[in-house]
Chain A
Amino acid sequence: MSEIREKVDVCVVGAGHAGCEAALACARLGLETVIFTISVDSIALMPCNPNVGGSSKGHLVRELDALGGEMGKNIDKTFIQSKMLNVSKGPAVHSLRAQADKAEYSRAMRKVLESQEHLTIKQAEVCELLWEEIPDHLSNCKDNNENDCVVNTQINDEDHRNIQENDQNESYQNESYQEENHLLGFEKKVIGVKTFTGAVYECRAVILCTGTYLRARCLCGEAITYTGPNGLQAATHLTESLKNMGIELRRFKTGTPARMDGRTIDYSKMEEQFGDERIVPFSFSTDPESVQKEQASCWLTYTNQATHDIIRANLDRSPIYAGIIEGTGPRYCPSIEDKVVKFAEKERHQVFLEPEGLHTHEMYVGGMSSSLPEDVQLAMYRTVPGLEHCKIVRNAYAIEYDCINAKQLYPSLEFKKIKGLFAGGQFNGSSGYEEAACQGLVAGINAAMELLGREFLVMDRSESYIGVLIDDLVTKDNREPYRMMTSRAEYRLLLRQDNADRRLRKKGYEIGLISEEEYQDLLCKEKLIELEISRLKDTKVGANKEIQSFLERHDSMSLKTAASLAELICRPELDYEKIEEIDAGRVEAYAGYCSMENVRSKYLTADGKLSKEIIDQVEIEIKYEGYIVRQKRQVEQYKKLEKKMIPADLNYDEVPSLRLEARQKLKEFRPVSLGQASRISGVSPADVSVLHIYLERHKNN
């Protein structure tokens, strides 16, 4: 039988938010890439909530954008309302959220994919991965002769040898430590994919972004359909192939609320929720002026006792409570049944009505996802003020799907045992578009880095929310879909959404996903921030009459001796804007800079005024300097253990005194560093000390 046979560099399985980012990253880095999707019409589909961002998720999108991802740019093109959340709190928890026009979002992303060089879109179900054994992998070097082991593997792995030969860069040689570690653990190597129709695509890397489609099952009360989200076809074959490769799968569950016909909703009984007056774009590359537009409104209403009574009376008909759903659902994105059971004392819960787009009447009912039967849903929704006469367009449902425990992955998102196989998104056990997109981008970048023989992108917990996300996924025993939360990031004062570009753009530039223009932009911004901070620190004001009266007017303590403007900004009752009247030099300070090359008009107006982006950075750095310094110290402490690497071939059975549980966990996870080891549950500080001491002693042997 003849079949189609093609040869490419990378195959991406799935075209959701993870798949799109992965495919774009690879193609943009010059690799021939095919992205497979069950339906081309479902590219970048938003099957659940119609928004991007939100608390801590907004951080993820801005970081993704800083690295050269697409999600931020795409939502900037297609949003219909935008809001900066938590502005009454500290800058670390400010987070951007935008309502999307779902259809537009999907269409815009498809257009980006279609216009991308080196990228092919293919509508097909991938049923099988093609792979081969790597001879002489670790299990064949039982005598534990490290040197022999390394040599063998290198000889048997052409790619790796090529990488070593081609790379003249000394810094890479140091970094190749991790690469080499990686190599030692590989047992298999992926060489292609096969579709349902029998077509074979040979490739050097595969990125799995199957989302919620693997053996998907949708539940609406007692009614069960074997489909993916929105009635789309499920992917039923790939699971078997993955199992054959030795990949362990498990089952997770998530859910979505109903969509209402907007014409049947009485908004007069709800509170209108407006967008921000001044819109901040998601992407650092988007011109802020271009996103100032008319916005759609969302609406807030509440459940009540009647709602809760109906839910309680019908709990036995909920597939979760009746035990029909086996998959584990996210605790942090609970269904309305869960909320009513868990917060039994609460009299009401928030319900947000959000438009699904500008060209549809459909409204998303945020806060009321459910898997109760259709009749109960309707009765329950109709108890909510404003929804008394509502008609449901699409029922709420729960969806179950196959995914993996991401402990099978390295922080690069490559499988520990399978060279060239990467994974991102909901397949890794996460939940949420933003979480998916970020993993997709990292998996895509790292697949490309591997093929190009370059250094992996691995960010730690002190560098980005993405680093926290991936570290949590590959290190912790997650038992439910993982959702990003503010509290998961230990060093969040440093990981603000406003400085994501300052943290990560350089990395994106070095990888090759950030253009020269965008990078120069960053350098200009950095320079102006630096200059303004030192100017404020160096400019002293005396304890004269003018200053004292200024302070008095602002209920601020009078000065005993001269103070710098920075010191005054530090006072809780003062800020950058307020001190303008005693900061005479502010305008003239940059008069000479405007005409200079490389200085961007978006950061410095022609009359020498700094833009809000610059001022925000300056003010945050000055006002919270003490906290930032302390947090940086915590980071230093944290980094010490992160830097202590554990060889991938370490035989944990030879480490004396490890407790049995710890030994098992360490063998299972094979952490790359002592830091990662310390975060594995079941590994105690004493175990880490034992391991540390063992490594120190064997370092020179």
Chain B
Amino acid sequence: MEKMNDTIAAIATALSDSGIGIVRISGDQALEIADSILRNKNGKKFVCSAKSHTIHYGFVVDGKEEQKSMKILDEVMVSVFRAPKSYTKEDVVEINCHGGVLVTKKVLELVLHAGARLAEPGEFTKRAFFNGRIDLAEAEAVMDLIHSKNELALKASTAQLRGDLSDKIRSMREEILYEIAFIESALDDPEHISLDGYQDRLKEKCDQLIKEVQRLLDTAENGKMIKEGISTVILGKPNAGKSSLLNMILGQERAIVTDIAGTTRDALEEYVNLQGIHLNVIDTAGIRDTEDVVEKIGVEKAKKYATDADLILYVVDTSVELDENDREILSMIGDKKTIFLLNKSDLEQKVREKDILALLNQRNLPDDQDGFIDSNSDLVESSKERLISMISTSAAFGKGLEELEVEIEKLFFQGDIKQNDQIMITNLRHKEELGNVLSSLLLVKQSLEDGMPEDFYSIDLMQAYASLGNILGEEVGDDLVEEIFSKFCMGK
């Protein structure tokens, strides 16, 4: 059974041919274990007697001292951090190895042999969290960092690790707590604390907080896509070239491509990295009114995927006239971000951009919305809305891929995310909690508008406070611990 106080070790740097590889040891036995495999230039142990936050020159040795079989494995620099002033708040020793990947691995083996246990992924961080050095949001940022799939995600995680998000949440929490405390003290000491005119002040405060939470939530969409990838669904009529498009994006033959319409009967999912943006691409069965049972299921599935998608790539076969099936697809698109790929640009063109626009305009949008294109608008106008764009491609010949990458970037990031330092919500749990905060604050506003007595405000203010606390792990709910369990792969 894993114990929290045993000593763990792992290679803390990426296993690449970089100059230095670091083996990190943390726990009660860290100093002793390090001492057992390290010697200074006089052949003496030095780690246990080293002061905290010092770095030492030495050698990793292998073999038994008594049998004089000891040999030098690597020339290293050794950093010593004594509890509690270390990353994990435990004794930590870091051995900077210079001998390349194989030697670093060998050093780790020696450390494990000397009594340390191989750390689980994220276990140093887990200890830092449980020992109270970092809060849950920061711990999660580390976990995200470890699992981050691309550069942007890395950036967001680093910002969170710096505590930007925690600071923001904490300051909102303090503001809410102030209001709760004020209301409560007024209830208990009405003689000295008056609530006259307080309603207006609280309303203002709510508006401000709602704005701040909304701003954070707005980043969550991008944040999620950055961390988990943009959920992309390829739609189109049968044989429009969807699978060819997928293969083009992937740069490999993944989907079976034939001339036979309806070849892709189920959805295929692939991960691809375009310009540092991560896409989860789902190829779907072609949309058509069909009697084939299997194909029908595929079509239903495609519809479902489209509902959940962040981005739709609509492949239009420009060599075939638009028909009822295209109408069907357009209705599935709704107001999603969509790129129309006018495929088969090498063949005779029976469909042009204006035909699609015309069809789009005929479409009735739900809820009496005006839609993203009003009757007078043209493509330029709609591009400004950043909701749709059109490019012509020929998947069969690999034409238009670059253009597609540019369009995706434009549609989603418009360049603003890449350089800025804004706090971004990349964690689904954080997003959900922020959503709860938002609805609680809206309920407070509702109570204010309904003219409810002041003791009612604190019910929802309290909830908002608790939800924010959940993000930091400062509210001890049972669910939260369950969450921590799953995050750190705990259990037996």
For the complex formed, measure the closest distance between the CB of B477 and the CB atoms of chain A, giving whole angstroms: 6
Q: Are B3 and A686 in contact (CB under 8 A)?
A: no
How many angstroms from the CA of A640 to the CA of B481 in the assembled complex? 11
CB distance from B85 to the nearest CB of A (A): 15
Interface stretch, picked from A24-32, A267-275, A483-491, is: A483-491
Which segment of B239-247, B406-414, B484-492 sits at the interface? B484-492
Is the beta-carbon distance between A349 and B191 smaller than 8 angstroms? yes
CB neighbours (8 Å) of B478 from chain A are 637, 640-641, 644
Would you call A93 and B481 a contact (CB within 8 A)? no
Q: What B residues does A177 contact at CB under 8 A?
A: none
A630/B184 in contact, CB under 8 A: no
Does the CB pair A656–B3 fall under 8 Å?
yes
A92 contacts B188, CB within 8 Å?
Answer: no
Residues of A within 8 A of B460 (CB): 630
Q: Does A634 contact B (CB under 8 A)?
A: yes
Segment from B31-39, B267-275, B382-390, B450-458 that makes contact with A: B450-458
Partner of A89 from B5, B450, B454 at Cβ < 8 Å: B454
Contact A693 B191 (CB under 8 A): no
Task: Tell whether, in the assembled complex, residue A685 and residue B130 are in contact, meaning their CB atoms are under 8 Å apart.
Answer: no
Bound CA–CA A322/B232 (angstroms):
76
| Interface contact B4-A637, CB-CB below 8 Å | no
B11 to chain A, nearest CB (A): 24
Task: Tell me how far the C-beta of A87 lies from the nearest C-beta in chain B, rounded to whole angstroms.
Answer: 10
Asked whether B377 is an interface residue with its Cβ less than 8 Å from the other chain, the reply is: no
The answer on a CB contact under 8 Å between A88 and B453 is yes
Cβ-closest chain A residue relative to B193: A343
Q: Which residue of A lies closest to B135 (CB)?
A: A686
Interface residues of B in 303-319 (CB under 8 A from A): none
Let me know if B462 and A490 touch, CB within 8 A.
yes
| Interface membership of chain A positions 615-627, coded 1 if the CB is closer than 8 angstroms to chain B and 0 otherwise | 0000000001011
B192 is an interface residue with CB less than 8 A from chain A: yes
Segment 483-503 of A: residues with Cβ below 8 Å from B = 485-487, 490, 492-493
User: Please, which residues of chain B bring their CB within 8 A of the CB of A487?
Assistant: 184-185, 187-188
B455 partner, pick from A92, A490, A572, A687, beta carbons under 8 A: A92
Q: Is the CB of B455 within 8 A of A492?
A: yes
* Chain B stretch 1-39: residues in CB contact (< 8 A) with chain A: 1, 3-5
Q: Which of B456-476 touch A at CB < 8 Å?
A: 456, 459-460, 462-463, 466, 473-476
Within the assembled complex, what's the spacing in Å between the Cα atoms of A631 and B481? 22
Number of A-B contacts (CB under 8 A): 105
- Measured CB to CB, the nearest residue on chain A to B134 is A686
Chain B's closest residue to A90 (CB) is B453
Q: Is B127 an interface residue (CB 8 A)?
A: yes
In the complex the two chains form, is A90's CB within 8 Å of B481's CB?
A: no
Minimal Cβ-Cβ distance residue in A for B485: A693
Instruction: Say if the beta carbon of B132 comes within 8 Å of chain A.
Output: yes
Contact of A630 with B459 in the complex, beta carbons under 8 Å: yes
A688-B492 Cα distance, complex, nearest whole Å: 19
Q: Complex Cα distance A370/B130, Å?
A: 49
User: What's the interface size class on B, roughly?
Assistant: 35 or more
When distances are taken between beta carbons in the complex, the residues of chain A under 8 Å from B5 are 656-657
A686 contacts B477, CB within 8 Å? no
Considering the complex, give the chain A residue whose CB is closest to the CB of B473: A685
Q: Which residues of B contact A674 (CB under 8 A)?
A: 476
Indicate if the CB atoms of A572 and B484 lie closer than 8 Å: no
The distance from the CB of B272 to the nearest CB of chain A, in whole angstroms, is 38
Contacting B at CB under 8 A, from A603-655, are 624, 626-627, 630-631, 634, 637, 640-641, 644
Nearest chain A residue, comparing its CB with the CB of B492: A697
> Is A681 at the interface (CB under 8 A from chain B)?
no
Q: Tell me if A332 counts as interface (CB < 8 A to partner B).
A: yes
Question: B129 interface residue, CB < 8 Å from A?
Answer: yes
CB-based contact B127/A657 at 8 Å: yes
Compute how far the CA of A684 lies from the CA of B135 in the bound complex, rounded to whole angstroms.
11
A692 at the interface (CB under 8 A from B): yes
Most chain B CB within a 10 A radius of its CB, from A637, A674, A688: A637
Q: Is A176 an interface residue (CB 8 A)?
A: no
- B residues near A492, Cβ cutoff 8 Å: 455
What distance in Å separates the Cβ of B28 from its nearest Cβ neighbour in chain A? 10
Return chain B residues, CB-CB under 8 Å to A88. Answer: 453
The reply on A464 being an interface residue by CB < 8 A is no
- Does A659 sit at the interface, judged by CB under 8 A? yes
Q: Give A673-701 interface residues, CB cut-off 8 Å to B.
A: 674, 678, 684-690, 692-693, 696-697
Contact of A686 among B129, B185, B192 (CB under 8 A): B129
Question: For the complex, is B131 an interface residue (Cβ under 8 Å from A)?
Answer: yes
A683: nearest chain-B partner, CB-CB = B476
Subset of 12 A-B contacts with CB under 8 Å: A56-B188, A92-B455, A332-B188, A486-B187, A487-B184, A490-B462, A627-B459, A637-B479, A657-B130, A657-B131, A693-B481, A693-B485
